[in-house]
Amino acid sequence: MNKNVLVVGGAGYIGSHTTLVLQEAGYTAIVYDNFSAGHRDACFGADLVEGDLADTAKLTQTMRQFDIGSVIHFAALIEAGQSVITPLPFFHNNVAGTLSLLDAMNAAGVSKLVFSSTAAVYGNRTDTALLGEDLPRTPINPYGDSKAMVETVLEACAAAHGLQAIALRYFNACGADAQGRCGERHDPETHLIPLILQAALGQRPDIKIYGTDYDTPDGTCIRDYIHVSDLALGHVAAVGHLLENETPGCTSINLGTGSGQSVRQVVEAVKRISGRDFSVIEHPRRAGDPAALVADVARAQAVLGWQARYSTLETIVRDAWNFACKAG
């Protein structure tokens, strides 16, 4: 069994946690990153190749040099709001970049891929709050479109030339390594929990809640928050599944908890765990925000034998708070 894994985008938030967990699980992780968003100090001694996703020749050379057996692909632009304003970079990087990676895999004879997808492929669904993988892909922004397009490409490649792929659809990634070795360091930051932590640390004047009149117990949106260490373990499980099987195909799998927390619950958890008070400003709803989005996680358990271990709200906020305090 070839346990050499190329982690493309492995210096980023989820990629760095996955690199760490891969190594702890006995895999050899090779990080490939252009450091447009990643951090050199988050590679944890893994062999590092600095390169761009569009550089097919360098990707091919890297796979051959390190005798890669499987690839995990994290290298994407992820800001959904920005994708509406400037869509072309999202299609260039997320779609064309993935085509470059697939060309390199073909050239190097690598057929196993774990793809970082997203719950954004489900779009703004109001007919169900529990999202299963067999629902149609109906994204509502260019970011979600780009991920859905890649899933379509992977399905075609599986049918045409034997690609084995798993598309892991994340829900709300959050938290940090429990030992504080890595955590969330986006610039600019747009994710809810680190924004609330910044308010608790006095790094921003307030936290804004968009919509308090939803049909939920406290009127604020409910989301499925998944600890980044659980996401990392999901990727390790997906790599193991691909290495143990030779059947071509592309399987989409949700990574979430199967339950949700409201925005107001998250705010109160940060106040409780940090011991800090801060200003909370209520604003009207944002267009396109559904009341509740929660993952159906049955397939992850059935196919990968995976379920969330660390994704209680208390654990997520505590780990994220400890990392934020350490990072300053």
Give per-residue pLDDT as tens, 244-279.
999 999 999 999 999 999 999 999 999 999 999 999
* pLDDT the model gives residue 225: 97
Helix (H) or strand (E) holding 131: strand 130-131
pLDDT digits (tens, 9 = 90+) for 221-247: 999 999 999 999 999 999 999 999 999
pLDDT digits (tens, 9 = 90+) for 192-214: 999 999 999 999 999 999 999 99
In a domain, 153, yes or no: yes
Residue 81 shares a structural domain with residue 198? no
User: With the C-alpha atoms ordered 280, 284, 289, 294, is the resulting torsion angle positive or negative?
Assistant: positive
Residue 277 shares a structural domain with residue 164? no
Residue 37 shares a structural domain with residue 81? yes
Residue 245 shares a structural domain with residue 265? no
In a domain, 157, yes or no: yes
Q: Which CATH number belongs to the domain containing residue 213 in this structure?
A: 3.90.25.10
In a domain, 301, yes or no: no
pTM: 0.94
* pLDDT the model gives residue 55: 98
In a domain, 159, yes or no: yes
Integer Cα distance of 307 and 309 in angstroms:
6
Residue 46 shares a structural domain with residue 56? yes
Residue 271 shares a structural domain with residue 124? no
In a domain, 274, yes or no: yes
In a domain, 39, yes or no: yes
Residue 10 shares a structural domain with residue 97? yes
Residue 166 shares a structural domain with residue 273? no
Backbone angles phi, psi at 252, to 5 degrees: -90, 135
Q: Residue 11 is which amino acid? A: A
DSSP state of 221: -
Residue with tokens 């692909």: 73
Name the domain boundary from 208, 241, 256: 256
Measured in whole angstroms, how far is the alpha carbon of residue 63 from the centre of its chain? 23
In a domain, 240, yes or no: yes
**Res. 288 pLDDT band, cuts 50 70 90:** low
Residue 170 shares a structural domain with residue 204? no
* pLDDT the model gives residue 140: 87
Domain that residue 17 falls in: 4-174+225-256
Instruction: State the average pLDDT for the chain.
Output: 94
- Which of the residues are catalytic? 143
Residue 75 shares a structural domain with residue 215? no
pLDDT digits (tens, 9 = 90+) for 172-185: 999 999 998 888 88
Q: How many domains does the chain have?
A: 2
In a domain, 182, yes or no: no
CA dihedral 209, 203, 40, 16 (to 10 degrees): -30
